[in-house]
Structure 1
Amino acid sequence: MELRHLGATDLRLTPIGLGTWQFSGGRGGIVGKYWPTLPEEQVREIIRICLEGGINWFDTAEVYGNGESERVLAASLQALAPLSNESRIATKWWPIMRTAANIPQSIGERKKALADRTIDLYQVHQPFSFSSATSEMKQMAKLAEQGHIRHIGVSNFSAKKMREADRTLRDYGLRLASNQVKYSLLDRQIEHNGILETAKELGVAIIAYSPLKQGLLSGKFHRNPELLQGISAARRINGGVKRETVERSRPLMTRMEQLAEQYGVSPTQIALNWLIHANGETVFAIPGASKPHHAEELAGAMRFKLTSEELSELGSFKV
């Protein structure tokens, strides 16, 4: 399976990793309860399929069930050894209502939740805290120097804050590895607000979350709009899963279904393939999977490549 360097680092990852917000176990407030609880044996099966399909990394976070996602992920990886021996882990520090001083104070909790597995990428989850990006990066750099983490990333940072973070890390002989942001064929904001352009300029990777727009790019809501009635208010508001978005994106979905038939894949795989190839090797994707067949789709999305003409055509749809 193809491996890419994450930004300017020596960390080599598959273009698609598994996002694990859905492993929160229904714990930890609103964020942790966003998804229904999954049995641990189902989680383990999903991770096994990802590993066997070639996916070599997993993205989690402290706020996903107050560490529950981290714990379940680590337990599954341990149970799946030696298949999981070369897997990589990315997790995130939650900054809201905290200062940068909490970064070294809480790293022990992250390591404990992850059963002391290597933290290959440690990210600041949001740009909102009581400290500056400069202060946060200084603390992150110290963790790297002490061997607690390997590489440093951010999430939801603006172009300006990305520059500040990378500039600070350079003083320590380090580089900002990545910025994790919302990006998909139905959410192109980073192409217009300077984030994608700045990432390419600095050599920072983009890690795209919500790459399927909460399932909209699978086509299931276009084929059966009645499914929208079962969507929670939170997903309608935060994920944009609503009827007007479905109707507006029908021309795009029609073309995706045509390409899916041509390549013998699913629309989900077409959407992910566009994401990981439309900007060279800059963009990685972290779709979630709550069922084993979802995991099979994710791995399969890396086994073909849309032509440059097809990538350009899909990117030209205005939705």
Structure 2
Amino acid sequence: MPYSASPSRYDKMEYRRSGRSGLKLPAISLGLWQNFGGTRDYPSALEILAYAFDKGITHFDLANNYGPPPGSSEELFGQMMQHDFKPYRDEMIISSKAGYEMWPGPYGEFGSRKYLIASCDQSLQRCNVEYFDIFYSHRFDPDTPLEETMGALASLYHQGKALYVGVSSYPREQTIEAHRILQEMGVPLTIHQPSYSILNRWIEDDGTLDALGELGVGCIAFSPLAQGVLSGKYSKGKGENTRAAEKSSSVAGSHLEMGVLDAADRLNEIAKSRGQSLVQLALAWALRREEMTSALIGVRTLEQLKDNLGALDNLELSDEEIAAIDKASEGGLMNLHPQPEGWLR
């Protein structure tokens, strides 16, 4: 039997405007990085995404290389669009990106016009949609003129293949320049998607977040749980049975240093004092500033999704709590600023 959405799906979710645009996103959005690739079966994927939509999560975030293998997340999502979500397409914000390696050869990654436009067309086919609500340049390309990269986004915008365009992981200077170039082309830069969490504050440190506020550009944070560190599962003495213990895991090195784990434990105590899980505290913190449009979560199980959604019950943080969080995170901050020459996610 095809999926039928809950009539109460908009009763609780908070929706925030992306900068000075007309686009609104749910405070919590769902990303399909890593957990919805070739190893995920259709029924379990639908269970999670259908529950998310029933709770007001209207925004689903993808990229060409999401999997593994690359492309498989978009293919799985495309099946769900065709069989279950098609009646609700106009209620959804579907985004994708291009920037990381997708196919071999000189035209399969970074920011050339050839790559971005070809990749967008491929992603549209995999996702079984005629347009993306948001299409991003996934990372800054230091070897391609920014005018070319932004020109490709402008072409997709004018062709109707992207209703809005954005950038992901762009540092402050390149973000400001991208905004200027697009503005001259008659295209608004609607949103920026950077990594951001209690333990990863590079967009505050380099002024990117302040610049977004000044420019009227929205911000959606990916990895608000610092790639799982702020889930609480990597506290000292834990983690042996998690993906952090796997050599192939993206959670490695400085992510699991003692100072980071100590900070996570201190933050967990603050969460308990608020009657929250550490996950919920981390999301509330990521959403505390007015520049933040949404926090982009990634989950493997329905239980994790429910825990994340519990943050909506208490997003308010007092000045005293924010100060306590700042103090608790001392010694555990991680520099995950994406460098143009090769930072990967």
**Alpha-carbon displacement from aligned partner over 1:237-260 (angstroms, at most 9, x marks no partner):** 37814444212432222112221x
Does the 8 Å contact 1:119/1:149 carry over to 2? Answer: yes
CA 1:252/1:107 → structure 2, altered by over 3 Å: closer, same or farther? closer
Q: Tell me the secondary structure at the aligned position of residue 13 of structure 1.
A: strand
TM-superposition CA deviations, 1:7-33 (whole Å, max 9, x none):
23221110210011124525xxxxxxx
**Change over 3 Å in CA distance of 1:308–1:88 after alignment to 2:** same
- In the alignment, what sits opposite 2:44? 42
- Would you say the 8 A contact 1:51–1:83 is kept in 2? no
Task: Using the TM superposition, give the Cα deviation of residue 228 of structure 1 relative to its aligned residue in structure 2, in angstroms.
Answer: 6.8
Aligned to 1:126: 139
Q: CA deviation at 1:158?
A: 0.8
Which range is displaced more, 194-203 or 216-225? 216-225
| Alignment check: 8 A CA contact 1:17 1:286 kept | yes
**Match status 1:8 vs 2:10:** no
For the pair 1:291 / 2:301, whether they are aligned, the reply is: yes
Alignment counterpart, residue 304 of structure 1, candidates 305, 308, 314? 314
CA contact (8 A) 2:230 2:264 kept: no
Q: State the 1:115 CA deviation.
A: 0.3
Amino acid paired to 2:27: P
Aligned 1:49-64 pairs, distance under 5 A: 49-64=51-66
Shift of residue 143, structure 1, vs aligned partner: 1.1
Does the 8 A contact of 1:23 with 1:68 survive in 2? no
Aligned to 1:92, the other structure's residue is in SS state strand
Alignment CA distance shift 1:200-1:87 (3 Å)? same
Equivalent pair of 1:176/1:204 in contact (CA under 8 Å):
yes
CA distance in 2 between partners of 1:16 and 1:229 (Å): 24
Deviations 1:80-139 (A, max 9, x none): 334565111111012555422322233321110110253011001111364122211111
Matches within 5 A, 1:155-166: 155-166=168-179
**Corresponding residue number in structure 2 for 1:202:** 215
Aligned to 2:5: none
Instruction: Quote the residue 1:245 is aligned against.
Output: 260
Distance 1:223 1:246 in 2: 6
Q: CA 1:316/1:151 → structure 2, altered by over 3 Å: closer, same or farther? A: farther
User: 2:238: which partner in 1?
Assistant: 225
Query: How many residue pairs get matched?
Result: 304
- Matching residue's letter, 2:78: A
Q: How does 1:101-120 map to 2 (within 5 A)?
A: 101-120=114-133
Counterpart amino acid of 2:24?
Answer: R
C-alpha deviation, 1:157, in angstroms: 0.5
Q: Distance in 2 between matches of 1:90 and 1:304?
A: 27
Bigger CA drift: 280-289 or 232-241?
232-241
- Alpha carbons of 1:106 and 1:217: their partners in 2 closer, same or farther (altered >3 Å)? closer
1:238/1:211 Cα in 2 relative to 1: closer, same or farther (>3 Å)? farther
Find the aligned partners of 1:235 and 1:228 in 2 and give their Cα distance. 15
2:78 to 74, 77, 85: 74
* Alignment partners' CA distance in 2, 1:202 and 1:134: 19
User: Secondary structure, in 3 states, of the residue corresponding to 2:66?
Assistant: coil
1:224 offset after TM fit, Å? 4.4
Unaligned runs of 5+ in 2: 1-12, 333-345
Kept after mapping to 2: 8 A contact 1:207/1:284: yes
CA distance in 2 between counterparts of 1:239 and 1:25 reads 26
- In the alignment, structure 1 residue 22 sits paired with structure 2 residue 34: yes
The answer as to whether partners of 1:151 and 1:177 remain within 8 angstroms in 2 is yes
**AA in 2 matched with 1:232:** E
Q: What code does the residue aligned with 1:165 have?
A: A
Report if aligned partners of 1:269, 1:301 keep a CA contact under 8 Å in 2.
Answer: yes
Normalization by structure 2: what TM-score?
Answer: 0.80
Identity of aligned residues (%): 28
Change (3 A) 1:308 1:226: closer
- Counterpart Cα distance in 2 of 1:115 and 1:180: 23
Q: Which runs of 5+ in 1 are unaligned?
A: 27-36
8 A contact 1:212–1:218 mirrored in 2: yes
Aligned-residue CA RMSD (Å): 2.3
**In structure 2, distance between residues paired with 1:54 and 1:303:** 14
Using the alignment, how far apart are the partners of 1:267 and 1:237 within structure 2? 20
Distance (whole Å) between structure 2 residues aligned to residue 17 and residue 147 of structure 1:
23
Contact kept, 8 Å, 1:156 with 1:181, in 2: the verdict is yes
How far apart, in 1, do the equivalents of 2:300 and 2:172 lie? 32
